[in-house]
Amino acid sequence: MKVAIIGGGASGLACAITLKRADENIDVTVFEKLDRPCKKILATGNGRCNLSNFVVSEEYYNGDHEIIHTVLDEFDAVEALRFFSSLGLKIRDEEGRLYPYSMNASNVVTMLLSEAKRLKVKIRTDCKVETLDSKLKINGKDRFDAVVLSLGGKAAPQHGTDGDGYKILKNLDIRYNPITPALVQIKTKEDLKELKGIRFKGVLFLREENDNDDSPIKFQEGELLFTDYGISGIPAMQLSGDVAQMTAKGEQPLLNVCFTPDLGLKDVNRYLQDQLDAGRKGSEILYGILNEKLADYIYKKNKGDINKIALDVMSLPLTATGTKGYRDAQVTRGGVGSDELNEHSLQTKKVPNLYITGELLDVDGTCGGYNLHFAWGSGIKAAKEIINNA
Ligand SMILES: Cc1cc2nc3c(=O)[nH]c(=O)nc-3n(C[C@H](O)[C@H](O)[C@H](O)COP(=O)(O)OP(=O)(O)OC[C@H]3O[C@@H](n4cnc5c(N)ncnc54)[C@H](O)[C@@H]3O)c2cc1C
């Protein structure tokens, strides 16, 4: 049997290795358009590669829950650890986030590629797949018995993923749900240049445009960072997929920043009053709780009105206008849904023996190793299906 895997990234390599381990006689070729495979993995986790998480469950994923369930059902954290161990990778646990023991992404790539080499997986680099027809012929030349689309999405095109997969899907008449960037910095309408570089621990709330209701759509707590275009940090990245989906529909969602998550409005008011009573003047009344530049900004914005200042400390309103886009994004939201796949399977309905893995599917995870976890799991799942269907 001849199998082609298009895309030498995380899911593609996991698929190739699983196929060859199951049956060494399967002829597996990985087509990679860059000069070497797994380039994106080197950039993950700030070069440390957060490759999975001890706590894996559906709640950490957005998108098509049927697909998420299909993959996670067979690939939990224990299976992930078994896979890494089979590659010879020792794992380090950092508060649930799993990394290679060396904390160096290059070790993950080395171990994946050395296993692929040992198993005689053919890897064709500098080999961009332009076309795939319904007879599973690649670039009008080589025909395969099964093909796996592991091309990734549109996020981080500098690592090889600039959306080729969607063109291939369109040509095969395979529908996919609208795509947007996710896990990316958020742009705001307000000019925050004077706050650029200020880091703080806080909570970021996401609300619908013109929302007078108190309940946010979502919120995230953690370290945030003001930038010249808006707001960054893990909580902002976690909410960015929703922001991107809303702004793509023409909405301007609201963000509220809480700088004092453990204090109530009354506490902040009392604190400010105490500072005034102690004779502190102007934005000095905020210097004991906020960065000075931030204090000056909030004081000036509210022209010294104590009640308004307290409200902004608890819930500074911002308007999201979009995100930094695919170039800065870690993942793509949207993609092929379960309606285009056979039940509990990653095989397409329209083209028999065509499978889809990784980010091309309508699944995206939150920060914490969930996207790579899904990539490994979906690659392994596709390989098992190919073997069962052979
Ligand atoms: C900066 C950054 C940091 C990240 N950090 C983490 C992290 O720490 N933890 C985590 O879980 N996730 C992280 N991610 C997300 C994670 O890397 C991806 O979700 C995952 O790699 C997706 O796997 P994939 O197999 O779908 O595609 P990819 O790993 O993106 O691989 C797709 C491959 O297909 C190739 N390709 C594309 N088009 C063609 C074509 N036409 N012909 C041939 N080959 C082609 C590409 O060159 C690429 O090598 C990060 C992403 C980025 C950009």
| Domain end (from 298, 323, 348) | 323
Q: What is the pLDDT of residue 212?
A: 67
Q: In angstroms, what CA-CA distances link 231 with 126, 188, 199, 236, 251?
A: 37, 7, 10, 7, 18
Range of the domain at 41: 2-182+331-389
**Closest Cα partner for 153 from 351, 294, 321, 326?**
326
Whether residue 6 is found in the same domain as residue 152? yes
Dihedral angle, C-alpha 150, 154, 160, 166, nearest 10 ° = 50
Give residues with Cβ within 8 angstroms of 19, minimum separation 6. 3, 26, 28, 383, 386, 387
Cα-to-centroid distance, 258 and ligand 1 (Å): 34
> DSSP state, 35?
S
Burial of 297 (0-12, 13-18, 19+ CB in 10 A): buried
Same domain, 176 and 199: no
Query: Which of 273, 288, 323 is at the close of a domain?
Result: 323
Q: pLDDT tens digit string along 239-280? A: 999 999 999 999 999 999 999 999 999 999 999 999 999 999
20 alpha carbon – ligand 1 mean position (Å): 22
Do 299 and 337 belong to one domain?
no
Is 370 a pocket residue for ligand 1 (Cβ < 6 Å)?
A: yes
Is residue 178 over pLDDT 80?
A: yes
For residue 351, the 8-state DSSP code is: S
Based on the domain organization, do 243 and 122 belong to the same domain?
no
Q: Which residue has the tokens 């004991």?
A: 288
Contact 170/215 with Cβ under 8 angstroms? no
- Centre of ligand 1 to C-alpha 8, Å, is 9
Using the atom order of ligand 1, give the atom closest to the CA of residue 375.
23
**Ligand 1 in reach of 108 Cβ (< 6 A):** no
* Per-residue pLDDT tens digits for 225-244: 999 999 999 999 999 999 99
The mean pLDDT value for 86-97 works out to 97
Question: With a 6 A CB cut-off, is 44 part of the ligand 1 pocket?
Answer: yes
Q: Copy the structure tokens of residue 301.
A: 């914005």
Shared domain for 255 and 298, answered yes or no, is yes
Q: Percentage of the chain with pLDDT > 90?
A: 97
pLDDT for the residue numbered 215: 79
The model's pLDDT over 109-163, given as tens digits with 9 standing for 90+, comes to 999 999 999 999 999 999 999 999 999 999 999 999 999 999 999 999 999 999 9
| 219 pLDDT above the threshold of 90 | yes
Longest dimension (CA), the chain: 82
Across 310-332, average pLDDT: 97
Substitution site in 5, 108, 371 for ligand 1 pocket (most atoms within 8 Å of beta carbon): 371
> Same domain, yes or no, for 190 and 178?
no
Nearest to 124, CA basis, from 4, 253, 297: 4
Regarding whether 11 and 143 lie in a shared domain, the answer is: yes
CA 41 to ligand 1 centroid distance, Å: 7
Among 137, 122, 125, which residue's Cα sits nearest to residue 168?
Answer: 137
Phi, psi (rounded to 5 degrees) for 365 = -105, 165
Q: Which mutation among 29, 34, 44 tests ligand 1's pocket best, with the greatest number of atoms within 8 A of CB?
A: 44
Contact 300, 241 (CB under 8 A): no
To the nearest 10°, the Cα dihedral for 148, 156, 222, 55? 10
The answer on 190 and 136 residing in a single domain is no
Alpha helices, DSSP H, located in 233-367: 234-248, 265-277, 292-301, 306-315
Same domain assignment for residues 197 and 150: no
Measured CA to CA, the distance from residue 237 to residue 186 in angstroms comes to: 7
Which residues are within 8 A (CB) of 193 and not within 5 positions of it... i.e. 6 or more apart?
228
> Both 24 and 94 in a single domain?
yes
Residue 333: phi and psi, rounded to 5, are -90, 145
Q: How many domains does the chain have?
A: 2
Residue 280's SS3 state is: coil
Q: Is any ligand 1 atom within 6 A of the Cβ of residue 129?
A: yes
Q: What's the number of CA atoms in the CB half-sphere (13 Å) around residue 2? A: 7
Q: Is pLDDT at 213 greater than 90 in this prediction?
A: no
Is the minimum distance from the CB of 286 to ligand 1 under 6 angstroms? Answer: no
Residue 166: pLDDT band with limits 50, 70, 90: very high
Could you tell me the distance, in angstroms and rounded to a whole number, from the CA of residue 365 to the centre of ligand 1? Answer: 13
Q: Given 323, 348, 363, which residue is the final one in a domain?
A: 323
Q: Hey, what amino acid is at 364?
A: D
* CB-ligand 1 contact for 377 (6 Å cutoff): no
* pTM to 2 decimal places: 0.96
209: pLDDT confidence band, cut at 50, 70 and 90? confident
Report the pLDDT value the prediction gives residue 210, as an integer from 0 to 100: 75
pLDDT value at 216 more than 90: no
The contacts of residue 170 (CB under 8 Å, 6+ apart) are: none
Work out whether the CA dihedral 13, 18, 24, 27 comes out positive or negative: negative
Q: For the residues 157-176, what does the mean pLDDT come to? A: 98
Find the CATH number of the domain harbouring 155: 3.50.50.60
Distance CA 171, CA 348 (A): 14
Whether the Cβ atoms of residue 189 and residue 254 lie closer than 8 Å to each other = no
Contact 126, 34 (CB under 8 A): yes
Please state the atom number of ligand 1 nearest to the C-alpha of residue 49: 8
pLDDT in tens, 270-298: 999 999 999 999 999 999 999 999 999 99
pLDDT at 214 over 70: no
Same domain as 240, residue 169? no
If asked whether residues 245 and 343 sit together in one domain, one would say no
Rounded to the nearest whole angstrom, what is the distance from the C-alpha of residue 245 to the centroid of ligand 1? 21
